[in-house]
Amino acid sequence: MGRGNKAKTAITPTRSQDYPEWYQQVVKASDLAENSPVRGCMVIKPWGYALWENIRDVLDNMFKQTGVKNAYFPLFIPKRFLEKEAEHVEGFAKECAVVTHHRLEEAEDGGLVPAGPLEEPLVVRPTSETIIGESFSRWVSSYRDLPLLINQWANVVRWEKRPRIFLRTSEFLWQEGHTAHSSPNEAMERTLQMLDIYAKLAETYFAIPVIKGEKTASERFPGAVNTYTVEAMMQDRKALQAGTSHFLGQNFARASEIKYQSAQEKEEYAWTTSWGVSTRLIGAIVMTHGDDNGLVLPPMIASSHVALMPIIKKAAERNTVMDSTQALARELRGQDYHGRKIEVEIDDRQTIGGRGWDWIKKGVPIRVEIGPRDIAQNSVFVGRRDKGPKEKESIPRDQFIKTIVTMLDEIQTNLFNRALRYREENSVPIDSKDDFYSFFTPKNPEKPEIHGGFAFAHWCGSEKCEEKIKTVLSVTIRCIPIHAEKETGRCVSCGDKSTRRVVFAKAY
C-alpha cells in the first residue's frame, strides 16, 4: 500500500502527482516488464508477454481473414538497400544500429575487440520495406501474381535516446504487413482496410476509443505517399499513435524494381502498402485504463480472466478448499469467451491480504476468494477490477459460473465507456489563437499538472504554421480526421482561411 496519501493507494505516486512516474510504477508493480542490462531495451515478463500473445493472436486471425499470409525476412539489411529510397533512409538514419564486424578477438588486456570487418555494413532491421521489396521483386513477374499480401511478426531496432518501457525502447516487437497491387485504388483500399482492423483492435478488444485520420506531410512515414493513423487519448490527455497504415504509391516498387507484366502485356511498377503495430500497444492499455491501484486489463485481451484465491486457515481445511477451487477452475476454463477459453489463475499462497492486492495491481478482471464458509454456503466472494478494491460481493457459485461471460462483457463495456467519456470531456473545438495557446500551456510551468487534451482546430495547411505550433507548444497535428465534415474557419496559427478542423495534441 502507498504511504502519505489521505486515501491509500497501491501505486505511488498517483496519476495526478506524477503521471510519468506513476506509469513506470504500474509497469513494475503489475509485473509486465523490466529494464534490461542493455540500455534502452526491456525484458517482457510472462504476464506482459501473455498480453502480447493475445494481441498477436487476435490480429493474426483478422489479417488472415483478409487473405494475408505470414512470412519471415532477415534481421540484417544491407546498407545499400536503404540507400535506394532516399527519403526512407533519411527518416531512419539517426535511429539505425549498424553491424560492421563479424567476430571478436581477444585483446592484449584480456578483453574482446571487434575483428573481421564486413565488406558491406549491415543495418539491424528498423523496418523491412527495402528487404521485403527485394523479395517481392523476385516473386512478382505477372499481374497474376498480384495482389501479394504478406505479414511478418518480428523484432526491430531503432536506437532510442530517451527510452521508456513499451512506449519507446531500442528493441521492440511488432508486426509489419507489406502488400503489392496492380492498381493504386486496390492498394489504397488495402491501406484503409488495415486501418479499420487497427481501429477494431483498439476499440473492440482494448476498450480504447480512437480517431481515424490521415497524417500531415511532415508526420508521414518516410517514403510514403499517405500515412493513416488511429489516435487514442491517454489519461494525461496526451495522444498515443495506436497503429499506422501507409500507402506507398510506387516509390518503393521503383526503388526495389517490383515490376509485373500487365494484362495488356505492358511492364508496370506495382503499387505497395505497409502497416504495423507494436508492443507500444501495451503501454496504451496501461495509460488508458490503469488507476492508482495499478493495471486494469480489458477482459477481451487480458493475460488471464480470473484469479482464484483459496482461503485456508487450518491444515484440515486444505483438501476441501483446494478441491472446490480446482473444480471451479475446470468449470470456468470449459467456457468460451469471444474466441478464447476463459483463462484462470489459482493463487494458493497463504498471504491472504497481499494476494488480493497483487492481483489488483496486475489488473486481472475478476478476483474470487473461496473459503470454508463460502463452500458451506455454496457461494464465492467476487471482486471486479472495474470497481473499487473493497467492492466485493458474495455470489451463489452456480450463478457465478453461468454469468461469468456476462460479467466480463460488462467490465469490457464499462472500461470503453469510461475511456470514451474521458476523451469527450477533454476534447474541445477551439477557434482563437489565444484560447489554443492557453489550452496547451500549464498554469504553473514548474508543476505541469495534467492539462490540455484534443483540440479540434482549424489549420490552413501550411507546414510553417504546423512547425511553429510544434516548436512553441510541443503540440502536433495528430491527424486530419477521415470523416470530418468540411467547414470554413481561420487557422489558429496564422489566421488564414481553412476548410477543415484537425486534431492537435501533445503526444508520445
560492421: which residue's cell? 100
Instruction: Reply yes or no on whether the pLDDT at 419 is more than 80.
Output: yes
Residue in 192, 175, 194 with CA at minimum distance from that of residue 184:
192
- Going by pLDDT thresholds of 50, 70 and 90, the confidence category of residue 7 is low
Class of domain 428-505: alpha beta
Residues 6+ apart with CB under 8 A from 58: 201, 205, 301, 339
What the block records as the C-alpha cell of 43 is 525484458
For residues 222 and 85, give the distance between their C-alpha atoms in angstroms, rounded to a whole number. 9
pLDDT of residue 2: 35
Predicted TM-score (pTM) of the model is 0.95
CB 498 within 8 A of CB 431: no
For residues 223 and 178, give the distance between their C-alpha atoms in angstroms, rounded to a whole number. 14
Residue in 346, 240, 229, 243 with CA at minimum distance from that of residue 289:
240
DSSP-derived pairing of the beta strands 454-458 and 427-430 = parallel
Gyration radius from the chain CA atoms = 26
pLDDT of residue 445: 74
pLDDT of residue 485: 84
End-to-end Cα separation, the chain, in angstroms = 29
Residues 6+ apart with CB under 8 A from 96: 82, 123, 124, 126, 158, 159
CB 190 within 8 A of CB 292: no
Domain 26-73+125-289 matches domain 428-505 at the CATH topology level = no
- DSSP class of residue 104 equals E
pLDDT of residue 82: 87
SS3 229: strand
pLDDT of residue 171: 97
- Going by pLDDT thresholds of 50, 70 and 90, the confidence category of residue 92 is confident
For the segment 333-391, what is each residue's pLDDT rounded down to a tens digit? 999 999 999 999 999 998 766 899 999 999 999 999 999 999 999 999 999 999 999 99
pLDDT of residue 161: 86
- CA 419 to chain CA centroid, nearest Å: 15
Instruction: Reply yes or no on whether the pLDDT at 121 is more than 50.
Output: yes
pLDDT of residue 290: 98
Class of domain 26-73+125-289: alpha beta
Count Cβ atoms below 10 Å from residue 88 Cβ, excluding itself: 24
pLDDT of residue 215: 98
Count Cβ atoms below 10 Å from residue 461 Cβ, excluding itself: 16
pLDDT of residue 450: 87
Mean pLDDT of 251-270: 96
pLDDT of residue 352: 63
Mean pLDDT of 140-159: 97
For the segment 207-217, what is each residue's pLDDT rounded down to a tens digit? 999 999 999 99
Instruction: Reply yes or no on whether the pLDDT at 431 is more than 90.
Output: yes
Burial string for 130-165 (b: 16+ CB within 10 Å, else e) reads bbbbbbbbeebeebeebbbbbbbebebbbbbeebbb
The proportion of the chain whose per-residue pLDDT surpasses 70, expressed as a percent, equals 98
Instruction: Reply yes or no on whether the pLDDT at 1 is more than 70.
Output: no
Mean pLDDT of 414-419: 98
So where are the chain's domains? 26-73+125-289, 306-423, 428-505
Instruction: Reply yes or no on whether the pLDDT at 3 is more than 60.
Output: no
Instruction: Reply yes or no on whether the pLDDT at 446 is more than 80.
Output: no
Instruction: Reply yes or no on whether the pLDDT at 242 is more than 70.
Output: yes
Class of domain 306-423: alpha beta
The proportion of the chain whose per-residue pLDDT surpasses 90, expressed as a percent, equals 91
Q: What is the mean pLDDT of the chain?
A: 95
CB 198 within 8 A of CB 230: yes
Residue in 281, 391, 381 with CA at minimum distance from that of residue 32:
281
Cβ-in-10-Å burial (0-12, 13-18, 19+) of 272 comes to buried
For the segment 448-502, what is each residue's pLDDT rounded down to a tens digit? 778 999 999 999 999 999 999 999 999 999 999 998 888 999 999 999 999 999 9
